[in-house]
Amino acid sequence: MMGDVAIDGSSSTSGDKPRRGRRVRMTGAERRQQLLDIGRALFAEKGFEGTSVEEIAAKAGVSKPVVYEHFGGKEGLYAVVVDREMRQLLDGVTGALTAGHPRELLEQAAFALLDYIESYTDGFRILVRDSPVAQSTGTFASLISDIATQVEDILGLEFKARGFDPKLAPLYAQALVGMVALTGQWWLETRRPKKAEVAAHLVNLAWHGLENLEARPRLVGHRRS
């Protein structure tokens, strides 16, 4: 037995394929992280139900029980992946909000979301897809919709300051997030135009409206990427 196991020392943590090499023995934390990475990629590609535990384990070069040891099952792994991704996105967006002027705020938020989409494409795909089963409490259908509720607060403040009805903040928050989210999804396929340009146009639309659209919008803030 064991004749089918070759010898291979390379054990880059981010190895994707079975890497059927000499049994790589990782530390718990390493393996856990690796499984999360692989799980994220697979869930993004094939959805929750379309991904099997076997598949995840195989790609990690281990057997199923390892996954169960670490996460207790598929749902467990998925939950951790989603949680981390939500944090990542929220941190990115809220961290980008430094401006005081509403327009710059909008600009920063849009850019941050696109940034996230670009850097963590798989995570975004997961957040856009629907969760395992219609969750218990009758919460939102889309994880992204969840994100939008986080935007409400900022908008609510702004509305109050401007004398608008703050009860409408959720509506506008959903609208804005939806705008960026679907555009982001579309942008994933085409990758054109450039991120900054897309952001500029989104801000153009959200800020000026179709009525006063600018032909060649620019971002007012300066950015690195």
Partner DNA sequence: TGCCATACTTACGTTGCCGTAGGTTACGGG
Partner DNA sequence: CCCGTAACCTACGGCAACGTAAGTATGGCA
Determine the interface stretch with a copy of itself among 9-17, 30-38, 111-119, 197-205 (rule: CB under 8 A).
197-205
Shortest reach from residue 27's CB to DNA, in Å: 5
Establish if 140 lies at the interface with a copy of itself (CB under 8 A).
yes
Establish if 142 lies at the interface with a copy of itself (CB under 8 A).
yes
Q: Which of 5, 157, 213, 220 binds a copy of itself (CB under 8 A)?
A: 213
3-state secondary structure the chain: CCCCCCCCCCCCCCCCCCCCCCCCCCCHHHHHHHHHHHHHHHHHHHHHHHCCHHHHHHHHCCCHHHHHHHHCCHHHHHHHHHHHHHHHHHHHHHHHCCCCCHHHHHHHHHHHHHHHHHHCHHHHHHHHCECCCCCCCCCCCEHHHHHHHHHHHHHHHHHHHHCCCHHHHHHHHHHHHHHHHHHHHHHHHHCCCCHHHHHHHHHHHHHHCCCCCCCCCCCCCCCCC
Determine the interface stretch with a copy of itself among 22-30, 77-85, 91-99, 173-181 (rule: CB under 8 A).
173-181
Orientation angle between helical segments 121-128 and 143-162, nearest 10 degrees: 90
Establish if 4 lies at the interface with a copy of itself (CB under 8 A).
no
Establish if 160 lies at the interface with a copy of itself (CB under 8 A).
no
Shortest reach from residue 134's CB to DNA, in Å: 14
Of 23 and 191, nearer to a copy of itself (C-beta) is 191
Shortest reach from residue 176's CB to a copy of itself, in Å: 7
Q: Which does 20 bind (CB under 5 to 8 A by kind): DNA, a copy of itself, none?
A: none
Q: Which does 68 bind (CB under 5 to 8 A by kind): a copy of itself, DNA, none?
A: DNA
Of 25 and 216, nearer to DNA (C-beta) is 25
Q: Please give the residues from 48 up to 87 whose contact with a copy of itself meets the rule CB under 8 A.
A: 49-50
